[in-house]
A and B are shown apart, each in its own frame.
Chain A
Amino acid sequence: MKRLVSCLLAASVLTGTAALAQGELNYTASDPIRYPNGIYAGEVAGVATNSKGHLFVFQRAGNPYSALGGSRIFVHGQDQLLEFDQTGKFVREIGKGNYSSLVANSVRVDAHDNVWTADKYSGMVIKFSPDGSQILMLLGRKPESINVTIAGGAGRGAAGGRGAGGGEGAAPAAAGAAPAGGRAAAPAPAAGGRGRGGPPGAGASQDLFTGATDVAWDASGNVFVSDGFGGNNRVAKFTSEGVFVASFGKTGSDNDSLDSPRSIATDAMGNVYVADHNNHRVQVLSNDLKSVVRTIIGVGDPWAVCISPGAHPYLYVSNSNPMNDLDKGGEIYRVELSGTVVGHFGQAGKAPNQFATVNQLDCRQANTLYTAEAGGYRVQKVKLQ
């Protein structure tokens, strides 16, 4: 059935007809930004708009590198946070070369146009002022260094540099034990040098993240952070001044557990919608993070979520294809906040109008979505009809 739907959709895109299968929503997609000379698209991890319609694009760029320091290896990245105006013209780069830069994952703009980023490998959340000139608050702390487990001896040459498994789709193992043949030697997170409390997964370290994936706020300015890589599987709540309040989630598939929460969004009531990726569901948490309000299924493996504004808000959920597969998934669902799936649109691919590993969605305006596509090295503007 899914294949049939995909075929029908492909046919409709090719012929330009409006003949859509049941549940298919009509849409168009376009390229909304122009990169300036000298800046290249990278893996676009995040996209967000502010109240003026400016676009903030957070991408993995440059070359992450490590500096040798005996048994400690110091790692740094060169992620880029780029601002474009409402016409798609480049305005500025924000946060260039800042210390937390490692693996970009999310950018969001709050109600006051402050720009927030989450880095999933340094475990840091940054709040920039609206023009990006100041850092107003930090959450989390980048590990001082990573400890590297040497696997397989002094092999040289053929190392492909990549572990087995789905890459983006695979939940990193918690421990740093030397893997035999499977994953390539993994950095051991949270060992002594990481500057963190206990071992990952053993319990939420309140103020520290093993892998901050996303950020959201409620009407009072409380901050929610999803902490979903490197061991922790939780959502944490902080006051607007960064004081830890509560945490939800342990690793697993039970109702009180999360597995790779990749993205979060809040509704007007302050409920928190968590893309509980590996559990194939969106968990809706109460504002105090004490209970699960409801569970939404039938939306694939949620990778990115956003909630549109207005009297009739929708939850949008991307069942993004993994980086290593263009032949499955990729569709985006429109869902009532009550959990009823209204319809879906799109499919995986790199052609215009298709989606290549959507890592983040922005839906500040009703019926307009921006997709941050890590596999597509692009942002698309989607108009729903």
Chain B
Amino acid sequence: MKSKLPSAVLLALLASVAPAVTQQRATVEDTTHVQELGYNAVPGFFKPPKGEYFGETQGIATNSKGHVFVYFRDPQTRLWEFDQTGKFVKEIGKGYYGFLYAHALRVDRYDNIWAVDEGANLVTKFDPTGTKVLMVVGFRPPVDEGITTAGAPTTPDENYTLCRPTDVAWDAQDNIFISDGYCNNRVVKYDKYGKFLAKIGKRATGNGVGEFNLPHAIQVDKAGNVYVADRGNARYVVLDNNLNWKTSYNNYGSAWSDCISTEGPKQYLFMSNSNPNGNGPGSWAQTGQIYKAELDGTVIGKWGHAGKLAPGFQVVHMMDCRNPNTVFVGEIESWRSQKFVLGTGK
């Protein structure tokens, strides 16, 4: 199951980097030789209400009962709950003030549902039934300041002001980690009541240590390490629990989204090399696959491919991998959510 890297490449890598600085285990070249993992799509898993459609699927997440929540852009941003068979259960958050432009959805270990909205600049914690707002982080731009066509964001880099936030995660102490996002280029840590604790990154984009260029997704492993999909830099950044820089994984493609499994004896890191949005030329040929790796960045395998028809991917925006053998993906441009069962080998 686990792929050994070509030894020549590995040797070259070891020779070329200072061991204290990086733990990179692969390069862009050798991921093309990474073994393909077998997988099966579950066609037509999601059954939306009659006469209704998904919009741009931005967030997808499961709870401990196997229910699946899909958060998508529609004329009104919407959140739908499905049961473990894909049957529609209910809509959550209809008419809610914090739903403006969906970006990500995650479910915490208590089954609370967290929605990250990059239009309302708000992260909302719903209770497990989705009927009650428990807390918000950030605040919706006041209406009288909300009308803008300016090209550049003006939201200051304040501790409690999010600017197009992208994702949320938690550690074992229930501290909250937010990737923030399209304009602040930072990661912020709050306590469970939303009190500011720490941040890393700055307004200006950069590709050095301590810098981000569109942190687009975030996960935390059981040890408390933080994994940030640094999309604009096509790398995954690993931080410790206090947001100190540890390392980065630079060889997994476009770095749109990551996911760390929570069920089973061991945690795995999934990373999506999503094909570019906008149907760019060649976007189907080289990209679109999802990598499976050890938490230390050692690659295990890859699966999936870009494509307009299911089970292809058309810009994977988010994955749920609670169970590392059952992965849900949400795609933007196909208005699609899919369920996959992973096997081993091809």
Contacts and interface: CB of A to CB of B under 8 A. Distances in A.
Bound pair: A and B? yes
Interface of A: 35, 37-43, 59-64, 66, 73, 75, 77-78, 102-103, 121, 146, 148, 150-165, 167-168, 172, 181-187, 229-230, 323-327, 349-351, 354, 374-375, 377
B196 interface: yes
Contacts of A349: 193-195
Interface in B171-213: 182-183, 193-196
Contacts of B151: 152-159
Contacts of A43: 97, 139-140
B55 to A, nearest CB: 15
Interface stretch (B20-28, B158-166, B296-304): B158-166
Top-8 shortest CB links A-B: A155-B151, A160-B153, A184-B148, A162-B141, A42-B97, A152-B150, A163-B145, A351-B193
8 contacts: A62-B95, A153-B151, A158-B164, A160-B141, A160-B163, A161-B148, A162-B155, A167-B145
B169 to A, nearest CB: 19
Contacts of B99: 63
B141 A121 contact: no
Main secondary structure of the interface of A (DSSP, over half): loop
Contact of A326 (B145, B150, B194): B194
Interface stretch (B32-40, B128-136, B218-226, B245-253): B128-136
Given A61-B97, A103-B142, A103-B144, A162 B194 contact: no
B143 A181 contact: no
B133 A40 contact: yes
Given A155-B151, A186-B145, A327-B195, 8 more contacts: A40-B97, A158-B182, A162-B153, A162-B154, A164-B154, A181-B152, A184-B145, A186-B144
Contacts of A103: 142-144
A150 B149 contact: yes
Interface size grouping (class) on chain B: 35 or more
Contact of A162 (B96, B132, B145, B195): B145
Contact of B150 (A102, A184, A187): A184
Interface in B88-126: 93-100, 119, 121
A117 to B, nearest CB: 16
B147 interface: yes
B194 A350 contact: yes
Contacts of A351: 193
Given A61-B95, A323-B139, A184 B76 contact: no
B6 interface: no
Main secondary structure of the interface of B (DSSP, over half): loop
Given A325-B158, A350-B193, A161 B121 contact: yes
Nearest to B142: A167
B140 to A, nearest CB: 7
B156 interface: yes
Contacts of A154: 149, 151
B183 A160 contact: yes
B146 interface: yes
B231 to A, nearest CB: 14
Residue among A160, A163, A183, A186 having the largest count of chain B Cβ atoms under 10 Å: A160
A161 B135 CA distance: 22
Contacts of A150: 149
Contact of B143 (A64, A165, A184, A325): A64
Nearest to B94: A38
Residue among B119, B160, B164, B183 having the largest count of chain A Cβ atoms under 10 Å: B160
Contacts of A155: 149-152
A297 to B, nearest CB: 27
Given A40-B97, A152-B152, A167-B141, A377 B136 contact: yes
A183 B194 contact: no
B115 to A, nearest CB: 11
A359 to B, nearest CB: 12
B149 A152 contact: yes
A6 to B, nearest CB: 12
B160 A163 contact: no
A58 to B, nearest CB: 13
A374 B138 CA distance: 11
A66 B159 contact: no
Contacts of B136: 375, 377
Given A61-B96, A327-B196, A121 B76 contact: no
Contacts of B148: 151, 159-163, 184-185
A118 to B, nearest CB: 15
Nearest to A64: B143
Contacts of B132: 35, 40-41
Residue among A35, A39, A184 having the largest count of chain B Cβ atoms under 10 Å: A184
Interface in B38-59: none
A349 B98 CA distance: 19
B119 A164 contact: no
Residue among B76, B140, B145, B161 having the largest count of chain A Cβ atoms under 10 Å: B145
Contacts of A59: 97
Contact of B147 (A158, A187, A325): A187
Contacts of A184: 145-148, 150, 154
A168 B161 CA distance: 12
Contacts of B183: 158, 160
Interface string B235-253: 0000000000000000000
B96 A42 contact: yes
Residue among B94, B154, B161 having the largest count of chain A Cβ atoms under 10 Å: B154
Nearest to A80: B95
A163 to B, nearest CB: 4
Contacts of B135: 350, 377
A151 B133 contact: no
Contacts of B93: 40
Contacts of A167: 139, 141-142, 145, 161
B155 A160 contact: yes
Contacts of B163: 160, 162
B96 A183 contact: no
A155 B183 CA distance: 14
Residue among A66, A230, A349, A377 having the largest count of chain B Cβ atoms under 10 Å: A377
